[in-house]
Amino acid sequence: MGFLYRNNNAVEAVVELEEAVVELEEDVVELEEDVVELEEDVVELEEDVVELEEAVVELEEAVVELEEDVVELEEDVVELEEAVVELEEAVVELEEAVVELDDKESELDSDSDSDSDCDSNYNKAISYTNPVRNTKAFRNTAQPIGMFTKLLMGLGGILIFKKIKK
């Protein structure tokens, strides 16, 4: 009986070993499937890395473009500041011309107190329409008006030039 008992134990041991081998083979299959899944994940991650690198390149290009835009805007700000300075100077000149015109007007108002002065002013007004523009009266009143007109034309030219330049 000892022989059968030993044979029985050996058979059971072989069966247990075969079951263990089957379990190990199943584990190997599962591990191989896990390896395949991990390899697929690695491929996906590599694709994601490529996409991220492309996105980084695009962002760097966008940053360069934005920096160029900032430089252009800073140049525009400098030009606008220069234009503001020019306009402020023109305003000062206009204010001076207005003061001169007010002075001339007050002189004319003080001169036009009498009827004879009105006749004189009428004669001056008629002389302004005279084709001969060399009269002293014309030169005295036309100079500030001419300066004012030139100033306005100059400002208009500056503004037009700035618009054309842009």
Q: What is the pLDDT of residues 18-32, one digit of tens each?
A: 999 999 999 999 999
Number of folded domains that form the chain: 1
Q: Cα–Cα–Cα angle for 92, 97, 100, nearest 5°?
A: 130
Model pLDDT for residues 59-94, shown as the tens digit of each residue: 999 999 999 999 999 999 999 999 889 888 988 888
Domain range for 20 is 2-165
Percent of the chain with pLDDT strictly greater than 70: 61
What distances in angstroms separate CA 40 from CA 31, 47, 90, 163, one per listed residue?
14, 11, 74, 60
3-11 average pLDDT score: 66
Residue 114 predicted with pLDDT over 60: no
Task: Supply the Cα-derived Rg of the chain in whole angstroms.
Answer: 50
> Six-digit token pair at 77?
């700000």
151-163 average pLDDT score: 67
pLDDT at position 1, please?
45
